[in-house]
Chain A
Amino acid sequence: MNKKLPALLLISVFVVATCGLIYELIAGTLASYLLGDSVTQFSTIIGVYLFSMGIGSWISKYFEKNILSWFIQIEILVGLIGGFSSTVLFLVFESIASFRIVLYGFVSLTGILVGLEIPLLMRILKDRYEFRDLVSKVFTFDYIGALLASLIFPLLLIPHLGLVKTAFMFGVLNVVVALIVCVSFKKEIRASKYLQSASMLSIITLLIGFVYADKITSFSESQTYSDTIIYSKSTLYQRIILTKKNKVLRLFLNGNLQFSSDDEYRYHEALVHPGLQALPFAKRVLVMGGGDGLAVREILKYQNIDSVTLVDLDKGMTSLFQSNKILLDINKNSLLSPKVKVINADAFSWIKAQQKKFDFIVIDFPDPSNYAVGKLYTNAFYKLVKGILAPKGLMVVQSTSPYVAPKSFWTVNKTLESVGLKTIPYHNYVPSFGEWGYILATEPENPYKKPQNYIPGLKFVSRESVNLMLFFPKDMGKVETEVNKLNNQILVKYFEDEWANVL
């Protein structure tokens, strides 16, 4: 027997121990990245991992013959599974509902395999050492390996390699151990040729993974958006992302879908025409929010409109829709029209300073998902809007989904009523959003008259479709709610509760 061989096996104990702990740390880190709450994640991962190692050790007694060859096969398997673990977990996180099952499945599998390694190794070595020596040597190397892993993981690997590359690197190391053992003991192993080529193949696969790791992670990040990202930009206020799939463009603000080019006409026609068509005398229009210029595009279809004032907080957003060629195609250059004045300002402060009245006011703010935006849905804000609404004018408010969030929708309605406005709620179906709601509001002495005809060229809004939009079936029927005020922000609470069930 070659004297070097036991030493080689001991070194492989060391490598195996290091790799084992690294996989465990990777799983723990990944879980706390993706699921949050690092204490819980780490402690459950470690628990499951150690328990699985126990199972592995227990199973090891069922391996009777060809232990060396089993050991090599297990090494290859650990290398492959461990190496690909973080990649697979990253990729499935977005698309799988029960991510935890996959995660703990991986952790258990790796744990069982790693649990097998040491007992098998000890049995391989048992005839080459005295028992006392054997236990002492194997465990010494095992624990040194663990120390090394726990030190280099946070200090070197995570900062310099990242999770995905680290996993691949240790996968390679694992399989290299297999290969070396295989070559050194080829006389004692029956199918050594087969095992050698299997290790070689695995090493190559893992190396390819290592090299292309960056591509994989960026791919997984773009998985959040199922389509190709063609534009992304962080402005002072939000992250704007534009995606494209086939011919369909989608705009996301902070990850929330803003519009999809194949059905946005349904939303914007419904937002603008039932109101503006009823005001043949209208000259001055105000749009608050809606920096994409799509509502303005609809408004400019009316010849009687002299001026459109668009107030949007984010200059990054309005400039994008004034300059990007693809986007100009969608909004038909609306924000470049000489009739349109773009103002980048905070809506609440801006409106407080206004005196001049508007015939038609479109309020197209983001959904009331936080206290900051929630202020723009309060009675205090609507009082100000009412103050600049021309006596015979109309205002319209995008009011979230009356189907998913009926309490939120009817709170907006109630709040508008509370400032002395007569409301006309309506809704339509926008495939990308689902059932969506809008509320027209007017001074009570000027009741809303449904337009009998609409301007030509509309794809969705017509006399008949508006009649349908005005009808609320039972499952979206009116519910009693409170008025949304600056000092209760009840809408934000409703909105959170109602959308929590969906998202």
Chain B
Amino acid sequence: MSGQTFYKGDLTTYLKRRSFLLRVGLITGGIFLNGCLKKIKSKYNIKGALNGPDSKAGHILRDKIKLPKPSSSRKVKTLIIGSGISGLSAARWLQKNGEKDFEILELENHPGGNSHFGTNKTSSYPLGAHYITVANNDDDLLIDFLKEINVITHFENKIPYYNDYFLTFEPEERLLINGEWQDGLIPDFGVPANDKLQIKDFLYLVSKLKNTKGSDGKFLFNIPISSSSADKDYRELDKITFKDYLEEKGYTSKYLLWYLNYACKDDYGQKLDKISAWAGLHYFASRRGEAANAEQNAILTWPEGNGWIMKQLTGKLKDHIKTSTMCYDINLTANGNMLATVFNPETNITEKIETEKIILSSPQYVNNRLLKNLHRPIEYSYFSYSPWLIANITINELPQSKGRGLCWDNVAYNTASVGYVNSAQQHLKISEDKKVITYYLPLCNFEPAVSRLAAYSRNYEQWLDIVVPELEIIHPGITQAIENIDFWIWGHGMIAPTKNFIWSENLEKARTPIEEKIFFAHSDLSGISIFEEAFHQGIKAAKQVLDANR
């Protein structure tokens, strides 16, 4: 906090802050007490680990740890901070354009950011982002990349033919509703006719929006978001919540609202009362990708999730990636260059790197700390990040249940999670005795800051208490079949497109480079956390660097 009092604002902010601290204190305190009890005796006999991004890094950024004095210094023409998809994409672009002198600094001991994955004896499995959809056909940059990594194998009548092994295998999706697994995720089994009508009506509405262009001739909703229409009438939708929008439109069906709420949780980690209407509609109305060998918007996935794409990117960039290297300070120097101070927690060595250009492909809550010595006229508190829990569950055999058999994506109506995916879906083997299923739980019952602190204070046994009962509801008797559960917590899992965020002046300013020296590339600058946005943010920043070099 660098010596400042936190109540520098007016009294209400102070009181809000106080009540926030009180609530956090009560919740985490309760969790801690409960945790002590659970440690003594847990209901379950399940083993596994509780992990997450390195928390030490966070403390260093907040000046909580004394670091050794810099012992060496060197020069790198371009530095990229963060090796998530946006950073890797920026690096790929620099490399494609002949740049050789660049480095990607990653504070974790592995690259990948949200595309991180794990592997055990049974299978590889995602720890975060786990699929992409077929590219929109006007997205040339993405299509070029997918061709490069053999996700698109060739074109038939100019329509991309996607790699047979990466398109999600059938059976793809099922929903547990009214006691039975139905085909697809849109509620249908046992749903009253009136509700079905509303669902149909909504889907018709978004299918119309999908193909509508604004007054400037651009699609209303597109990927990347920056290529969407600037039509004022529709951007107004960013100023209300999705919930208010749906109310205004007269959508009352609980089944429809469940489905839309599920969609918001799935893509944004928040419920529909927190998400802007523009973002809520974007989920349904922005994907128009055509494939020669699959239906529109078909899903592409891999056992390790987007970790597979990440590996394709890192393959050519190996010599440029420095892991366990955290940048914690950036300063301008007298000669017009910059000096980045970096620390390696494994070797415990601090060094200085002099650089001409920096691409910050780190999220803004990190940049807030990194750029503490520089002026950047934005309000960081508007960036809200949804916390997530990912559980990778190794099971022997799923108990038999009624309706459709195991699919890639398995969702249960009215549960806290957004379901689980079967990481063995893309395996070619005919029979396997064990499976790893990846369960996704957005922590959205409280405001993100509270949920995050609560998540950090839970121990392994307490997570079991949250996850296993829900699994038991979905699959009675599953507990017996569980061999192992590994938990992974993302405190800042993804940016939440809250109202007045995506099209705000603040976000516009956040995207603006500082003095043609520091450039920004992260999906939080798009406002939604999907692969495509990160990919384009990276290219955009790399292009800005190349332009500035000219």
Contact = CB atoms under 8 A, between A and B. Distances in A.
Partners in one complex: yes
Contacts of A376: 430
B397 interface: no
A485 B164 contact: yes
**Highest count of chain A CB atoms <10 Å: which of B168, B169, B172, B293:** B169
Nearest to A493: B170
A489 B294 CA distance: 12
B428 A352 contact: yes
A262 interface: no
Contacts of A378: 164
Contacts of B430: 237, 313, 346-348, 372-373, 375-376
Nearest to B431: A237
A492 B429 CA distance: 17
Contacts of B403: none
Contacts of A2: none
Contacts of B164: 378-380, 383, 485-487
B431 A372 contact: yes
Nearest to B406: A371
A391 to B, nearest CB: 22
A486 B169 contact: yes
Interface string B143-165: 00000000000000000000011
Contacts of B433: 236
Contacts of B429: 346, 348-349
A371 B422 CA distance: 14
Contacts of B405: 371
Interface SS, A side:
helix
Interface string B281-300: 00000000000011000100
**Highest count of chain B CB atoms <10 Å: which of A237, A371, A374:** A371
**Highest count of chain A CB atoms <10 Å: which of B170, B171, B429, B433:** B170
Contacts of A95: none
B167 interface: yes
A485 B169 CA distance: 8
Nearest to A375: B428
Contact of A489 (B165, B170, B293, B428): B170
Interface residues of A, number: 24
A61 B167 CA distance: 73
A486 B164 CA distance: 7
Interface string A356-377: 0000000000000001111110
A488 interface: yes
Nearest to B170: A489
A380 B169 CA distance: 11
A487 B294 contact: yes
B169 A375 contact: yes
A420 to B, nearest CB: 13
Interface in A337-358: 346-349, 352
A379 B153 CA distance: 15
A486 B169 CA distance: 5
Nearest to B300: A487
B463 to A, nearest CB: 32
Given A346-B429, A348-B429, A371 B170 contact: yes
A59 B280 CA distance: 69
Given A379-B164, A380-B164, A380-B165, A487 B170 contact: yes
Nearest to B405: A371
A371 B172 CA distance: 11
Contacts of A348: 428-430
A485 B431 CA distance: 19
Interface string A475-503: 00000000001111100100000000000
Interface string B164-197: 1101111110000000000000000000000000
A486 B162 CA distance: 12
Contacts of B172: 487
Contacts of A383: 164
Nearest to B433: A236
A484 to B, nearest CB: 10
Nearest to A366: B430
A346 B169 CA distance: 18
Contacts of A489: 169-171
Contacts of A236: 431, 433
**Highest count of chain A CB atoms <10 Å: which of B172, B298, B431:** B431
Contact of B298 (A352, A371, A487): A487
A90 B433 CA distance: 33
Contacts of B168: 487
Given A487-B294, A487-B298, A313 B167 contact: no
B248 to A, nearest CB: 38
Contacts of B170: 371, 374, 486-489, 492
Contacts of B298: 487
Nearest to B429: A346
A346 B294 contact: no
**Highest count of chain A CB atoms <10 Å: which of B168, B293, B405, B433:** B293
A380 B429 CA distance: 14
Interface string B411-435: 0000000000000000011110100
Contacts of A372: 430-431
Nearest to A373: B430
Contacts of B428: 346, 348-349, 352, 375
Contacts of A346: 428-431
Given A379-B164, A380-B164, A487 B431 contact: no
Interface in A375-390: 375-376, 378-380, 383
A346 B172 CA distance: 22
**Highest count of chain A CB atoms <10 Å: which of B172, B405, B428:** B428
A349 B431 CA distance: 12
A348 B431 CA distance: 11
Given A485-B167, A487-B298, 17 more contacts: A346-B428, A347-B430, A348-B430, A372-B430, A374-B170, A375-B430, A376-B430, A383-B164, A485-B294, A486-B165, A486-B167, A487-B167, A487-B170, A487-B294, A489-B170, A489-B171, A492-B170
8 contacts: A371-B171, A374-B170, A375-B169, A380-B164, A485-B164, A487-B170, A487-B294, A487-B298
The 3 closest A-B CB pairs, nearest first, are A489-B170, A348-B428, A487-B167
